[in-house]
């Protein structure tokens, strides 16, 4: 037996160290990718359930601090949940209704302005310094149109798959509301119940990671809403001063697009510049470009670091890749959920790494036996 082991050891030493390390990393990477693929397949199969629960989690991150405030004022948790749920949903619904109606009301004029802008650019490409022929311009426009058509089909596929009928949409809304109620009322107890079967040291670490992750989600949702309002007001006021038409629908478009980081800002800014170009000329377009860049710089260098903080800050490349993967995997819903999920996972993983460096010390915020009323704001809605 020992001779066999010695022979096996001798054979192993003949394999180069670099090859052994590469093979070890390779099969572990394949296992992780396989797990991620299986998880993605499972989420896709259960998207009718997963998407309403994910939206309920985002809304609970938005409303949980208000519930915690009322509970600290000795309002019963059930009453606090009901007040915040009704008032919060009414406020959010009212804001979205106003913004969407303003955008829809100005959409026909906005479409005409964009068409005129594209025609102006087309004439400039033919008569300007580029001297493109009509055939070259048509080829470029056809390529852009085909790209938009293909990506529009890909983006809308996920949304249509989850709400193909009014019945499935209504079912998702009811499931979302039902889940949101329990996230706000019993989110901490649900989280502790899920951690209960785990060993105690691991339980503390996961509790800390979950708490930090939910805290980052609360900060992200709150900051994104404030940043969206700031972007819409800043760009809207700038467009009004310049004299660009369709200020209200353009500001509404900026507000809606702000919930898709980086990509939404670029798209809404480009639309505003095109409208300014055809309505007021190149000088106004350049001024609009300056307004858009100024607001985006204010957002990136002041608002986001101030409101979100270093713990939730993500690299722009990670944000773009997350949005791309979300769009491919789940369409419009994926683009909206990708960055919040990434921010939450980023904070949770950082917390796990930090707690792993000091496993013998119990995290202060991970007191598993604490009741929800005595926890921080994150414990109210965490699930």
Q: For 243-272, what is each residue's pLDDT tens digit?
A: 887 788 888 888 888 887 777 778 888 888
pLDDT for the residue numbered 30 = 92
Position 133 confidence tier, pLDDT thresholds 50, 70, 90 = low
pLDDT for the residue numbered 382 = 45
- Residue in the block written with tokens 């990671």: 209
CA distance 328 to 326: 5
Assess contact for 80 and 67: CB atoms under 8 A: yes
pLDDT for the residue numbered 31 = 92
Residue 149 has pLDDT above 60, yes or no: no
Mean pLDDT of 115-140: 63
Q: Among 170, 197, 207, 140, which Cα is nearest to 382's?
A: 207
Rg over alpha carbons for the chain, rounded to the nearest Å, is: 26
Structure token pair of residue 291:
């307004």
Residue 41 has pLDDT above 60, yes or no: yes
What does DSSP assign to residue 362? Answer: P
What are 187-227's pLDDT values in tens digits?
888 888 888 888 887 888 888 888 888 888 888 888 888 88
Mean pLDDT of 6-11: 56
Q: In terms of pLDDT, which residue wins out, 88 or 119?
A: 88
What does DSSP assign to residue 365? Answer: T
pLDDT for the residue numbered 369 = 36
Which of the given ranges, 9-23, 177-191, 239-253, 289-303, has the highest pLDDT on average? 177-191
Residue 158 C-beta-side C-alpha neighbours within 13 Å = 23
What are 44-81's pLDDT values in tens digits?
788 788 888 888 888 888 888 888 888 889 888 888 88
Q: Report the Cα 223 to chain-centroid distance in Å.
A: 12
Structure token pair of residue 16:
């180069």
Position 148 confidence tier, pLDDT thresholds 50, 70, 90 = low
Q: Give this prediction's pTM.
A: 0.66
Q: Among 49, 151, 36, 57, which Cα is nearest to 341's?
A: 57
Residue 368 has pLDDT above 60, yes or no: no
Structure token pair of residue 210:
């979950």
Mean pLDDT of 148-177: 61
pLDDT for the residue numbered 364 = 43
Q: In sequence order, what are the residues at sequence separation of 6 or more whose Cβ sits closer than 8 angstroms to the Cβ of residue 15? A: none
Residue 159 has pLDDT above 60, yes or no: no
What does DSSP assign to residue 76? Answer: -
CA distance 247 to 224: 22
Which of 4-18, 107-121, 255-269, 317-331 is predicted least confidently?
Answer: 4-18
What are 333-357's pLDDT values in tens digits?
777 888 888 888 888 888 888 876 6
Angle at 256 between CA 253 and CA 260, to 5 degrees: 120
pLDDT for the residue numbered 119 = 67
Whole-number Cα distances in Å, 141 to 48, 111, 119, 135, 151: 37, 17, 11, 10, 15
Kindly state the percentage of the chain with pLDDT values over 70. Answer: 69
Which of 44-58, 95-109, 166-180, 361-375 is predicted least confidently?
Answer: 361-375
CA distance 231 to 165: 35
Count of residues making up the chain: 383
Please provide the average confidence, as pLDDT, over all residues in the chain: 75
Which of 7-11, 36-40, 244-248, 323-327 is predicted least confidently?
Answer: 7-11
Secondary element (H or E) of residue 375: none
Whole-number Cα distances in Å, 36 to 39, 40, 53, 112, 114: 5, 6, 20, 45, 41
Structure token pair of residue 80:
């606090």
Residue 322 has pLDDT above 50, yes or no: yes
pLDDT for the residue numbered 296 = 81
Position 94 confidence tier, pLDDT thresholds 50, 70, 90 = confident
3-state secondary structure of 168: helix
Assess contact for 208 and 362: CB atoms under 8 A: no
Q: What helix, strand, coil percent values describe the chain, rounded to 5?
A: 85, 0, 15
- Residue in the block written with tokens 């007191």: 367
């Amino acid at each position: 037996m020992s001779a066999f082991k010695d022979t096996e050891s001798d054979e192993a030493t003949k394999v180069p160290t670099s090859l052994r390390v590469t093979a070890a990393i390779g099969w572990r990477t394949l296992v992780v990718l396989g797990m991620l693929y299986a998880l993605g397949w499972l989420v896709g199969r259960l998207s009718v359930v997963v998407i309403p629960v994910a939206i309920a989690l985002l809304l609970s991150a938005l409303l949980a601090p208000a519930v915690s405030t009322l509970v600290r004022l000795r309002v019963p948790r059930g009453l606090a949940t009901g007040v915040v749920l009704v008032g919060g949903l009414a406020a959010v619904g009212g804001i979205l209704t106003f913004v969407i109606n303003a955008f829809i009301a100005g959409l026909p004029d906005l479409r005409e302005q964009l068409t005129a802008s594209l025609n102006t650019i087309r004439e400039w490409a033919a008569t300007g310094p580029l001297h493109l022929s009509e055939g070259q311009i048509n080829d470029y426009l056809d390529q852009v149109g085909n790209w938009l058509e293909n990506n529009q089909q890909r983006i809308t596929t996920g949304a249509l798959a989850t709400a193909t009928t009014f019945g499935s949409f209504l079912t998702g809304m009811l499931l979302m509301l039902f889940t949101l109620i329990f996230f706000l009322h019993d989110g901490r107890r649900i989280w502790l119940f899920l951690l209960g079967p785990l060993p105690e040291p691991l339980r503390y670490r996961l509790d800390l990671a979950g708490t930090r992750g939910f805290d980052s989600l609360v900060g992200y949702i709150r900051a994104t809403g404030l940043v969206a309002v700031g972007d819409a007001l800043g760009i809207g006021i700038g467009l009004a001063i310049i004299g660009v038409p369709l200020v209200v629908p353009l500001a509404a478009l900026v507000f809606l697009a702000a919930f898709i980081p980086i990509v939404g800002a670029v798209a809404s800014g480009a639309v505003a510049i095109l409208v300014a170009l055809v309505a007021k000329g190149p000088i106004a377009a350049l001024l609009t470009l300056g307004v858009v860049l100024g607001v985006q710089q204010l957002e990136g260098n002041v608002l986001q670091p101030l409101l979100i903080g270093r713990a939730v800050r993500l690299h722009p490349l990670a944000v773009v890749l997350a949005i791309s993967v979300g769009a491919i995997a789940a369409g419009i819903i994926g683009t909206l959920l990708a960055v919040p999920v990434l921010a939450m996972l980023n904070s949770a993983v950082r917390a796990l790494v930090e707690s792993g460096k000091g496993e013998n010390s119990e995290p202060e915020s991970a007191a598993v036996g604490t009741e929800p009323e005595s926890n921080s704001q994150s414990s109210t809605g965490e699930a």
